[in-house]
Amino acid sequence: MVRILDTTLREGEQTPGVYFDNHIKLAIADILDEIGIDIIEAGHPVVSKEIFEAVQQLSAHNLKASIGAHARSLKQDIDLALECNVNFLGIFFCVSDSRLNHVFKKDLGSAVDQIAEVIAYAKNKNPDLVIRYTPEDTVRSPFSNVIEASLAAVQAGADIISVADTTGFMIPGTEHNLYDYVSRLKETLAAHNLFPKIAVHCHNDRGYALANAIDGFRAGAEIIDASVLGLGERAGIVDLAQLLVSLKNDFNLGNTWRLEKLPELYGLVSNYSGIPIPVNFPIIGKNAFTHCAGVHTHAAVKNPLHYQSLDPALVGRDMHVSLDHMSGLSSIEWALEKLSIQVDKTMLLRILDQVKSIGRKGRIVDLSELGHIVDWCRKHPV
Ligand code: HCA
Ligand code: CU
């Protein structure tokens, strides 16, 4: 069974300029919970007093979802996370020799000891805590280092190993693909008789985050990270709506997910992050189910699936037809039917003409303006 981890409140807040007040964090978490998200990564408590309080407040809020804190591999981070009473703890530390040497002045052996020590410490303080260990930049680090750190982490009490594609490096079908990576990681750990759950955390630097996450899932990853609008460092990570819709529509998962809540969630996050939803954003964008050119509209009004591979009802949306310079007679007929207006063929052509001329000015006619156009045409017969 796949589990979804939403990290809008942690990774998403690492988007330049994005900050959610604690009452907004609560509102976001509430909708994530209603949708059926399994784990809400609520923040990194060490960053600020406000984030510490937000994580603490969300933990006390009795959501169905697990509430997670993010922590470096340091005792002070673990203590603060434990004080928040979270039931999920994500601990990360890099394992590449060059980064360890240059940034932390450490060798792999002492890094691995430190990872094992903090995990054992956290598990000892709260045996019910679900612990995830992430070798940061997993996929570009030496595989043997990832294995050494993961074995130590699991033996110390980690339940989940997360494969982080921290820089969006993986590409399906190439030598560096997540399907092979997750398969190899699982096999190698299994050979040591260790069977932690595998998570995937995919960044979108080259636009492959969702494809990589699906690749990892197909190879047996059981936890997938995502965020609303894919918010996160640089180009962000996997978009939550696209992930959920793919898993439900194409992999027949998540039958209890309430995907019709997604537009409300995206509206909330967009509003308070100040990040607009692009009109052509899949699933949620204003135009995601809107048909424009006359040829398309002609076929789509007969059956939307002629030009859609998804049913918008899946996310509580409807098909729509745009009225502009590309419109055809079918577009106007579709719109007039919505307004319960009947006209003869001559009038229909006049209305179409008027709509097209407005469209050529770069404007879209909405249904209420169409009503005014009909009115005007009726009062000014040719
Ligand atoms: C970070 C990096 C991270 C960590 C992921 C994780 C990544 O912002 O700390 O802890 O699972 O992409 O590697 O987001
Ligand atoms: Cu990340």
Among 223, 246, 273, the domain boundary falls at 273
Same domain (yes/no): 100, 244: yes
Q: Say how far apart CA 198 and CA 164 lie, in whole Å.
A: 11
Same domain (yes/no): 128, 247: yes
Ligand in nearest proximity to the CA of 92: 1
Residues 44, 70, 201, 296: which is the catalytic one? 296
Same domain (yes/no): 182, 309: no
250 falls in which pLDDT band (50, 70, 90)? Answer: very high
Is the CB of 162 within 6 Å of ligand 1?
yes
Per-residue pLDDT of 100-157, as tens digits, reads: 999 999 999 999 999 999 999 999 999 999 999 999 999 999 999 999 999 999 999 9
Q: What is the pLDDT of residue 121?
A: 98
Would residue 327 count as lying in a domain?
yes
Closest CA to 325 of 300, 292, 289: 292
Per-residue pLDDT of 8-53, as tens digits, reads: 999 999 999 999 999 999 999 999 999 999 999 999 999 999 999 9
Same domain (yes/no): 250, 147: yes
335: CB partners within 8 A, 6+ apart = 321, 323, 367, 370
* CATH number, domain containing residue 265: 3.20.20.70
Q: What integer is the mean pLDDT of 53-75?
A: 98
CA of 290 from ligand 1 middle (Å) equals 36
Question: What proportion of the chain, given as a percentage, has pLDDT over 90?
Answer: 98
Cβ atoms of 150 and 187 within 8 Å: the answer is: no
Same domain (yes/no): 9, 155: yes
Is the CB of 164 within 6 Å of ligand 1?
yes
CA-138 nearest atom, ligand 1: 13
Q: Say how far apart CA 232 and CA 219 lie, in whole Å.
A: 25
Cβ atoms of 282 and 290 within 8 Å: the answer is: no
Q: What is the pLDDT of residue 1?
A: 85
Looking at every residue in the chain, the average pLDDT score rounds to 97
In the chain, how many domains are there? 2
Would residue 245 count as lying in a domain?
yes
Q: Say how far apart CA 143 and CA 276 lie, in whole Å.
A: 39
Would residue 105 count as lying in a domain?
yes
Determine the longest span between alpha carbons in the chain, in angstroms.
87
Amino acid at 2: V
Per-residue pLDDT of 147-203, as tens digits, reads: 999 999 999 999 999 999 999 999 999 999 999 999 999 999 999 999 999 999 999
67: CB partners within 8 A, 6+ apart = 29, 39, 40, 42, 55, 58, 59, 61, 86, 87, 88
Nearest CA residue ID for atom 6, ligand 1:
134
Residue numbers of the domain that contains 223 = 3-273
Same domain (yes/no): 257, 309: no
Would residue 147 count as lying in a domain?
yes
Same domain (yes/no): 305, 222: no
Among 273, 298, 330, the domain boundary falls at 273
Same domain (yes/no): 152, 10: yes
Q: Say how far apart CA 34 and CA 257 lie, in whole Å.
A: 8
Catalytic residue flag (residue 296): yes
Count CA within 13 A, CB hemisphere, residue 175. Answer: 1
Same domain (yes/no): 71, 162: yes
Same domain (yes/no): 294, 251: no
Same domain (yes/no): 260, 140: yes
Same domain (yes/no): 309, 227: no
Q: How far apart, in Å, do the first and last CA atoms of the chain sit?
A: 66
Would residue 131 count as lying in a domain?
yes
Burial 1-34 (b: 16+ CB within 10 A, else e): eeebbbbbbbbbbbbeebebebebbbbbbbbbbb
Is the CB of 77 within 6 Å of ligand 1?
no
Which residue's entry shows tokens 């050529």? 360
Residue 382 pLDDT greater than 90, yes or no: no
CA distances from 40 to 8, 86, 355 (A): 8, 10, 47
225: tokens are: 């990270």
Would residue 285 count as lying in a domain?
no
Would residue 91 count as lying in a domain?
yes
| Residue 295: other Cβ atoms inside 10 A | 13
Would residue 280 count as lying in a domain?
no
CA of 119 from ligand 1 middle (Å) equals 17
